[in-house]
């Protein structure tokens, strides 16, 4: 059965109603081709037992010595010879869409040296001289190298996110089977990285209404994540036109391994999204999974296939969840009307 714009996507309802589910809930299955591989999608029906279990438990040639600089050659072809690279940015070469990096030794592959690497537009925009980074080195052969999965290393920021993640995990464990937050309950405390690489926590939006959803940037199903993002943008515009000025929009990634701050920034820029009050968040996988449990998002990654549900929530200026729409068939007007109350 093929999923069409929210068909079969049902509300989770109360805990009692969720516990009495007797029919299957369709999920969206997305095959993620690693390293830019082909993506395809299909939508089978999953058994309730599996879904509830998910909710409860919640994928060197060309190198020169340090005194020289190796130049990358752009290529769409990739290999599986991917390795973790750490180092510091020496120079941001915007005209060549690359970074000059003093990187550490990659045991058995490449000695420590200063080398130029191609990077994506989002990573290029976030790069600063002297910044430390961790990334996946893509060896395309014939001296071709680029970086993906770029994470900027900052001990202060990383400690803040780490501490918040530990508290979120403790809260999730204490809530246990009641981890899912019903309408009427408060937004949990959390801290993640936004598309600028900055740390943001839930307290940042106190006194503002929040429209929150979950997406991932590689989702190829037009009626799912892309549709949700389009409706968030529409709601942003209509809320502004209606005089709702205390609104913040938040999209949390379903795929934190791939959706780094740079990837999220590129995602927003390509779509022309106004990020003055729209944040795209990512962070540690553990923290993201705890938010899945607390917001009732069901996901599973198996064999390169991401299976997930969708939900969009409205949180009032007191930090209380006041409305929830599951699936992708909600309208901007219904949310804006509730914001105006």
Task: Give the integer Cα–Cα distance in Å for 213 and 227.
Answer: 12
Q: Contact at 8 Å (CB) between 222 and 30?
A: no
Q: pLDDT per position in the chain (341 positions), as tens? A: 332 333 333 333 444 444 333 333 334 444 444 343 333 333 333 333 433 444 444 333 333 333 444 544 433 444 445 699 999 999 999 999 999 999 999 998 899 999 999 999 999 999 999 999 999 999 877 787 999 999 999 999 999 999 999 999 999 999 998 999 999 999 999 999 999 999 999 999 999 999 999 999 998 888 889 999 999 999 999 999 999 999 999 999 999 999 999 999 999 999 999 999 999 999 999 999 999 999 999 888 777 778 788 899 999 999 999 999 998 788 999 999 999 87
Number of C-alpha atoms within 13 angstroms, CB side, residue 338? 19
- Residue bearing tokens 């929530």: 313
Strands 113-118 and 191-193: what pairing? unpaired
Give me the phi and psi of 153, to 5 degrees please: -95, 120
Can you identify the CATH homologous superfamily of domain 176-298+309-339? Answer: Glutaredoxin (3.40.30.10)
Task: Give the integer Cα–Cα distance in Å for 79 and 59.
Answer: 18
CA dihedral sign of residues 278, 284, 285, 289: negative
Q: Comparing C-alpha atoms, which of 116, 60, 68 is closest to residue 90?
A: 116
Strands 28-31 and 305-308: what pairing? antiparallel
- Residue bearing tokens 């769409």: 76
Task: Please give the biggest Cα pair distance in the chain.
Answer: 67
Task: Give the integer Cα–Cα distance in Å for 142 and 339.
Answer: 56
82-135 per-position pLDDT tens digit: 699 999 999 999 999 999 999 999 998 899 999 999 999 999 999 999 999 999
Q: Contact at 8 Å (CB) between 213 and 312?
A: yes
Can you name the residues that pair with 146 across neighbouring β-strands? 118, 138
Write out the two tokens for 236: 């942003």
- Residue bearing tokens 């929150």: 212
Task: Give the integer Cα–Cα distance in Å for 151 and 287.
Answer: 16
Task: Give the integer Cα–Cα distance in Å for 9 and 19.
Answer: 17
DSSP 183: B
Write out the two tokens for 145: 């190298």
Q: Sketch the domain layout of the chain as residue ranges.
A: 176-298+309-339
As separate numbers, helices (DSSP H) first and strands (DSSP E) second, the chain gives 8, 18
Which pTM was predicted?
0.78
């Amino acid at each position: 059965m093929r999923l069409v714009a929210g068909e079969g996507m049902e509300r989770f309802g109360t805990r009692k109603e969720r516990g009495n589910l007797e029919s299957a809930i369709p999920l969206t299955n997305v095959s993620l081709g690693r390293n830019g591989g082909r993506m395809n999608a299909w939508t089978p029906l999953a058994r309730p037992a599996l879904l509830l279990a998910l909710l409860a438990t919640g994928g060197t040639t060309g190198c020169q010595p340090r005194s020289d600089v190796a130049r990358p050659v752009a290529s769409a072809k990739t290999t599986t010879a991917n390795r973790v690279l750490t180092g510091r940015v020496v120079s941001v070469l915007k005209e060549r869409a690359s970074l000059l990096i003093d990187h550490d030794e990659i045991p058995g592959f490449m000695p420590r040296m200063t080398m130029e690497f191609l990077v994506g537009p989002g990573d290029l925009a976030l790069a600063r001289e002297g910044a430390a980074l961790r990334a996946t080195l893509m060896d395309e052969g014939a001296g071709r190298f680029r970086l993906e999965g770029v994470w900027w290393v900052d001990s202060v920021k990383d400690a803040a996110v780490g501490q918040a993640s530990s508290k979120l995990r403790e809260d999730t464990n204490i809530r246990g089977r009641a981890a899912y937050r019903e309408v009427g309950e408060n937004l949990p405390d959390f801290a993640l990285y936004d598309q600028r690489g900055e740390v943001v926590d839930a307290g940042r939006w106190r006194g503002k209404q929040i429209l929150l959803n979950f997406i991932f940037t590689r989702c190829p199903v037009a009626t799912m994540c892309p549709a949700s993002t389009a409706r968030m943008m529409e709601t942003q515009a209509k809320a502004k036109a209606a005089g709702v000025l205390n609104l913040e929009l938040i999209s949390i990634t379903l795929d934190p391994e791939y959706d780094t701050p740079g990837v999220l920034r590129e995602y927003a820029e390509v779509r022309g999204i106004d990020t003055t009050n729209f944040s795209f968040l990512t962070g540690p996988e553990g923290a993201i999974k705890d938010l899945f449990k607390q917001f009732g998002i069901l996901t599973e990654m198996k064999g390169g296939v991401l299976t997930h549900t969708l939900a969009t929530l409205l949180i009032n200026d007191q930090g209380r969840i006041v409305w929830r729409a599951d699936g992708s068939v909600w309208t901007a007007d219904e949310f804006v009307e509730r914001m105006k109350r």
